Structure formats: C-alpha cells, structure tokens
Amino acid sequence: MLVYSQSVRKAGTTTTFKSVRKPSRIKVVVVVKTGYGVVSSSRAPSVEDDEEGHLIYRTGDLLQDRYKIAATLGEGTFGKVVKCRDLQNDRFIALKIIKNVEKYREAAKLEINVLEKLAEKDPYNKHLCVRMLSWFDYHGHVCIAFDMLGLSVFDFLKDNNYRPYSLEQVRHISYQLVYAVKFLHDNKLTHTDLKPENILFVDSEYTLTYDAKKKRDIRTVKKTDIQLIDFGSATFDHEHHSTIVSTRHYRAPEVILELGWTQPCDVWSIGCIMFELYLGITLFQTHDNREHLAMMERILGPIPYRMGRKTRTKYFYHGKLDWDDKNSAGRYVRENCKPLRSYQSSSDEDHRQLFDLISKMLEYEPSQRICLGEALRHPFFEKISAQQRLGESGVGDRERSHSLSR
C-alpha cells in the first residue's frame, strides 16, 4: 500500500522507484529556515543522511518518540515514503520523509501550505484530496504524515498486465477525479501534475479470476473509491506560474507552446487519464515536444493557427507545425497514432459518451475546453448511482467566494 507513488516513464515503461545506492554515512549540522520558524539541529551521531540527502533509518527506528518505522513503501526524487505505526493513536500511517536538500524542503513547505488550506476548507475530506495528519521537521527532513491508502490506479493497472479498467470502473474513477479537481479549481488552485500515479485507491484489495485465453489471472479491484495526492506542484492563481508543468504524457498544448496556463491544463490531463484507464495505454507516448505535437495533430486534428502563430517556440513555421511525416519519427507517429474516435472499443452509447467527454477535455484552445462543472453534468456521468454521487453539482460554485488562497 502506498500513499505516494512517484514514477519515471521511459520509452513505454515506467520505473516506479529508482534503485537505492549503498549509502555513505555523512554526519551533518544543519540550520533549516522554513516558513514555520528556524530549526537548528546539531545532528546526533545516530541521525545520518546518505550522499543523496535521504535519511538513513532502520525498521524499528522511532521518530519524534511517536512514529515507529515498519517498512519502506517507496522512493522518489523527493525522498522516501515509509509505513509507520503511530504509537499515539495505535494505527499505521504513511510518512513522507523529504530529502535533506534545500529545494525539496522548499517544495515540501509549499505542499504543506496547500494541504493545510485544503483541510481548512474540507475538514471532513469530502472532496477526496489526501488528508495530511501532521508534519514535523526531523533534523532537516520535512516529514508529512498521511492516512494509509491503497495502490495508485497506475500501479494496479501495471500489476494487472495493463488490462484496462471496465467502463463502469472508468466512469466512477473519472467522476471522482473530476469532482476532486473541480474543488481545487473552484478555490483558485491548479494541481498541475495530474496522472494515474497520483490517483490512489482508498483500498486496492481485489478479486482474482482466471483468463483461460491469456492463461493468467485477472485482478478486479473490489472498490473504486479514490483519493487525489501530491500537491507539491499545486499553484494558486495569484502565485508564480512555472513555464513548464505536468508530467510529459499529460501536458497540455498551451504548456508545451509556452503560451501560459491556468486551470484548463488540468482538464487536458484528466482527458488523457480517462483514455488510459479505458485502454490501458498512454495516449501520447513520447518524450519529445515536436513529436508530442505531431501526435496531437494525428489524433485530434490540426493545432489552431492562432496557437501556432502566437508561440515563440521553434516548432511552427508560418503557423503550421514544422514536421516531416515521411522520416522515421513521422512513420512512428503515423503507425502508432490514429484519430481519437478510432480507439473506441464499442459503438455502444456509453462508449460514445465517454469519447465525447474526452474529446471536449482535449480541445486545443484552453478557453474552449470543457470546465469541470460542465463535465460533471455530461451524459457520461448520468449513470453514476445515487450511492456513488458526491455532494451537489453546485457545491463548488457556492464555495467559490471562500478561496483557499485567502
């Protein structure tokens, strides 16, 4: 079970956690300046970091006289996530231990700020954003405690041999995702890093059936309740907007073209995620900007002339994408990409509605892209059962005047 799943995708594969080099022990003295005060710590001999800034720990170690480390759940560029027993409440939690590196400490402070604002606005966690239980500084390592959750929808997919989710599972997961992100948007936040790795099942227990044709077991998740995680890149409207955001495969065209971005870039990411849940494959499987744009044109049609003229990037010539579809890269795009509707596996109305919604989320022009309030009212979500429905469709509108950023 993971609360955070940081992944690096390369050429059609995903490495969920990088290998750990054998640590070299370094005794350090740090002065940590945070928005929450100044922490000076002369490190005790027993508190050491490896050469990358990760905290060196062992199973059974006790942090803050409260959190007893039980196991490592995973590792990412930010640090590690460990399973701990909270001795104060006698339950397991997931503890995100940030590297003792300035830029990661600063990113953690920003994430804590967002998580605190979310908790103020949604104290009962009705909007499906992961709940921060507490945070503390441990000898230069910012540590954030979260509820234990299940696997990410990506890791479950990977462990299931990339067998797609059923249409009803796609419907419920997508509905919850739209609902959660709409809550952020209504409160002047953009997540900026939506991807299947950042959507976790609350409980990823599954049933097993045997597929005689493929001669392997098939996992079916029992409950499709989800939580949204990783607010380390979440940005308020009034804050500085980085030029490039989002993980490559879920990056909107206005971001690639450096035309500026706001909440609609999240909507584009959701469209890509819905496609991936439905088919088990990544919509835009590339690592190159120009190729990415060529894939978009192959799948969605020409990029609008206005966007091509306005961008200062080098990918367009006289408003048209500068792309040779006859070379090896061109053949790759031609052979591996086809018009969006061609991916529809059934002509049934439910499948048609799913692709209608995805196509509205993948509008090139951010101003023309469907907003998430409209998305919740789309016919694709009409079959969400009364038991699965969350709040009221207008809840975000009523809360708009009480921005998280205040």
For residue 90, give both structure tokens. Answer: 């006698």
Amino acid in the structure at residue 293: L
- One DSSP character per residue, 326-382 reads TSHHHHHHHHH---GGGG-S--SHHHHHHHHHHHHHT-SSGGGSPPHHHHHTSGGGT
Contacts of 92 (CB under 8 A, 6+ apart): 70, 83, 84, 85, 86, 148
126 is in an annotated binding site: no
Output b/e per residue, 217-249; b: 16+ Cβ within 10 A: eebebeebbbbbbbbbbbbbeeeebeeebbbbb
User: CA 248 to CA 193: how far, in whole Å?
Assistant: 10
User: CA 125 to CA 275: how far, in whole Å?
Assistant: 27
Quickly count: other Cβ atoms within 10 Å of residue 21's Cβ.
10
Contacts of 332 (CB under 8 A, 6+ apart): 291
Helices H, strands E: what count in the chain? 11, 18
User: CA 406 to CA 402: how far, in whole Å?
Assistant: 8
Contact 230, 4 (CB under 8 A): yes
**Angle (CA) 332 336 337, round 5°:** 115
Amino acid in the structure at residue 388: Q
Amino acid in the structure at residue 109: K
Catalytic residue among 137, 155, 186, 193: 193
User: CA 23 to CA 48: how far, in whole Å?
Assistant: 10
Check if 193 is active-site.
yes
- Find the farthest-apart pair of alpha carbons in the chain and give their distance in angstroms, rounded: 66
For residue 381, give both structure tokens. Answer: 């979500």
Contacts of 299 (CB under 8 A, 6+ apart): 283, 284, 337, 338, 339, 340
For residue 339, give both structure tokens. Answer: 């018009």
User: Which segments are annotated as binding site for ATP?
Assistant: 96
As annotated, the binding site includes: 96
Which of the residues are catalytic? Answer: 193
